[in-house]
Structures are given as structure tokens and as C-alpha cells.
Amino acid sequence: MAAVESYDVVVCGLGAMGSATAYQLARRGVRVLGLDRLSPPHRFGSTHGDTRVTRQAIGEGLAYVPLAQRSHQLWREIEAQTGAELLTTNGLLVLASPGLQTRHHGKTRFLETTIEAARAFSIDHEELSAAEISSRYPQLRLSGDESGYFEPGGGFVRPEAAVSAQLELARRSGAAIRTVEAMTGYVQDTDGVTVTTTAGRYAAGTLVLAAGAWLGAILGEPYARDFAISRQVLHWYAVDGPIEPYLPDRFPVFIWDRQPVSFYGFPAIDGRDGGLKVAAEQAVPSATVDDVSREVGTGELYGFYDAIVRDHLPGLARRCIRAVTCMYTTTPDGDFVIDRHPEHPSVVILSPCSGHGFKHSAAIGEAVAATVAGEVPVVDLSPFSLQRLRPQSVPS
């Protein structure tokens, strides 16, 4: 049997959260090994699709605001170190009709909470009427009863580029990054953990599980039931007419809270050839990662256009340039889990997904790395304990 290699920390999964954690550990001088069963960035998990929404006022709850704000600072630092283009602040628009009770990432009152967060944290924003939204953005067709929130510092982050940049920085700082090497199990030892993979065995003081949709299979029951997998479809529709009104300098990222399904979209970041990305949150559960269909049928593309796009984005053609699937890994309340395993104290569960994790990933990686390294993190992670979901399983 091959000798066991030793590290301070093993990070399993190198998507949004894992790549950020590995980088932040390595820059602190921690001996870190990053593992991934595939070769990130890739299109088989939850960290792809060209763009991810980012905003500083968070409608999912005020506890998220410091994470988003710190992530914006970190994206700029990473850009300066790598030359990568990660964060574009072309503005974010949130709009909704009064009295809606739709659930967005597990939360109601999304627009109201966004405004409350902006006021509480003094985030630059505007509160808009339907007439003001229509005047500013005629590309959107409103019903007329909507109100809105505009955040000039919001926009989008490029997920593939962000993962690549952080893995590059992790390597520069001495991290061992091994891809196409799947973790097959781990054992809690007296002094830490022993991790087995398809290629070897590794000893470490701490194991960080940032495996996304694969997390449930690693944890097993009863914890796996707290991380449900659902298939999502991302669409890029052609623009029918001049492209200029849909370019980032004239069209914002938007989140439209509506009945029965909320949806979101981006400007044409790649011009006419790239089209306009539009998608909705879909709660279609899958039992395992292997059950998720990667194919997008023609009926899905036309059905989404007819149900949502046609009436709200009249400038888009009924022609989908491309479509891809991704996965949400969602907790029962839609909030993150960032905590020690209740039975294995050397294992950190890092599952800030639930469809809204990417915008926070840089700061989460920093906070987890600081905690593991014995520092006081910049951002408080206590709201994301596992105990709220499984109090009977967590020692007091």
C-alpha cells in the first residue's frame, strides 16, 4: 500500500467554495491539498454558466450582507493579482408586484427584505415605481403594479473565471491541487482524518467537504436528507432587433419576483452571438447526482419562452442559442450550512448552495480558512450552523 501523504487540510470539491477555501488556506501558509472528482471549472456541477448574480443587499436575509460585501472586495483583489475579469457592476434591478408570497431561494418578501438590507447597511440604491422602471428599461414589459429596487453596485461575477483564478493563486501559494481524483471515503482519527481517494490516501488535521451536489452521498444519512438536489436549466435567447439596448452599459442584471415563478436574467455579455441569459428557480428534485438529466429538450426551451420570456422580454426571439443544466443543492430553509460535523469534529461541512451561494463564495472561503487556521474570521458564520436543521444530532 502506498505511503500516506500528510497535509494540514484536505479540501474536497474545488468549485466556488472549495477553490476559495483552498486559496485562502494556502495564502496563510497552511499545507493544503485540494481534490476534485472532475477538472474544475466544468459544467457538471453548480459553478458554471458564464455569469452569476451578485448584489450587496440580500433578500434572503441580512446575515448574508457582510459576506456579499466582503466578496466584492476579494474579487477586486483577485482581479489585481491575476489579471482576470471577474466582477462587473453594471447594476442590479429587483422588481415585484405588491402582496406576492412567492418563495425565492426559500424566502418570501424578497423585495422588501432587499430594501431593508440596503437601508440597514447604507448600501447605495434607488427605490423605483413601475413607471420609472418602464421609462428607464423599456426592454422589460411590466404589468404596471410593480415596484423596484436598483443597486448600482450590483451586477454579475464570472464563475468559471473565478474558480480558475483562485485555483491559480492557490497553486502559486503552494497548494497541491489534484483533479480527476474522487474522494471515496474518510475516517475520523485521533489527530484528524484519513482521506481515501481513487488514487491514494491522505492524512490531515481537517477535512473540508465542499462537494456541492455530491455532499449528501459523502455524508450519508441522516444528514444527506438536508441537502436536496434539483435540476436547473439556463437559457440564452436570441435578441430580435438591435443588440445595443441589451449590452451591459444599458441593461442591468435583474431578478423578477412574480407569480407563479420568479425568474432572473443578464445583459448580452457576449454581444449578439451570445444572446441573453434567462432562467428561473425550479424545484424539481433528483435523488442523486447521477439521476440529473443533462439534456435540455426542445419542449423545455419553447415552454419557458412561452410561459415567461415572451410576455416580459418582448425583444427576445423564440430561438434559444444554447441551454445548459446545473444543480442546486438546497437545505430545507434555503440557508447555508457551514459547520463542524457533529460526530466528526475534524470535518467541516461547507454547503452554502441553495441556489444563491456563488456571490458569497470568496468571503466564505476566507472565513472558513481563517477559522480552520485558528484566526477570528472577518465575517460571522454562526447563523449557518447545522444545529438549526438537526438539533437532535448536534451535541450541546
What pLDDT score was predicted for residue 286? Answer: 72
What pLDDT score was predicted for residue 94? Answer: 97
What pLDDT score was predicted for residue 159? Answer: 97
Q: Which three cell numbers stand for residue 384?
A: 449557518
Q: Are strands 228-239 and 316-330 parallel, antiparallel or unpaired?
A: antiparallel
Task: Give the domain extent around 343.
Answer: 5-47+159-225+334-393
Residues 350 and 214 both lie in one domain: yes
Query: CA 50, CA 29: separation in Å to the nearest integer?
Result: 31
- CATH code of residue 277: 3.30.9.10
Query: CA 279, CA 168: separation in Å to the nearest integer?
Result: 30
Q: What pTM did the predictor assign?
A: 0.95
- Overall number of domains in the chain: 2
Is 65 contained in some domain? no
Query: CA 356, CA 196: separation in Å to the nearest integer?
Result: 31
Residue type at 207 in one-letter notation: L
- Condensed to tens digits (0 to 9), the pLDDT of residues 137-194 reads 999 999 999 999 999 999 999 999 999 999 999 999 999 999 999 999 999 999 999 9
Query: CA 348, CA 371: separation in Å to the nearest integer?
Result: 10
Residues 123 and 101 both lie in one domain: yes
Is 87 contained in some domain? yes
Residues 221 and 242 both lie in one domain: no
Query: CA 226, CA 103: separation in Å to the nearest integer?
Result: 18
What pLDDT score was predicted for residue 396? Answer: 41
- Ranges of residues in the chain with a pLDDT under 50 are 1, 394-396
Tell me which residue of 158, 134, 129 sits closest to 146, measured CA to CA: 129
What pLDDT score was predicted for residue 103? Answer: 62
Query: CA 164, CA 22: separation in Å to the nearest integer?
Result: 12
Q: Which three cell numbers stand for residue 185?
A: 471515503
Residue tagged 415563478 (cell numbers): 261
Query: CA 161, CA 30: separation in Å to the nearest integer?
Result: 24
What pLDDT score was predicted for residue 1? Answer: 46
What pLDDT score was predicted for residue 62? Answer: 96
Residues 250 and 190 both lie in one domain: no
What pLDDT score was predicted for residue 283? Answer: 67
Residues 209 and 358 both lie in one domain: yes
The answer to whether 96 touches 258, Cβ cutoff 8 Å, is yes
Strand-pairing partners, residue 187, are 194
- Angle at CA of residue 315, ends 317 and 232, nearest 5°: 60
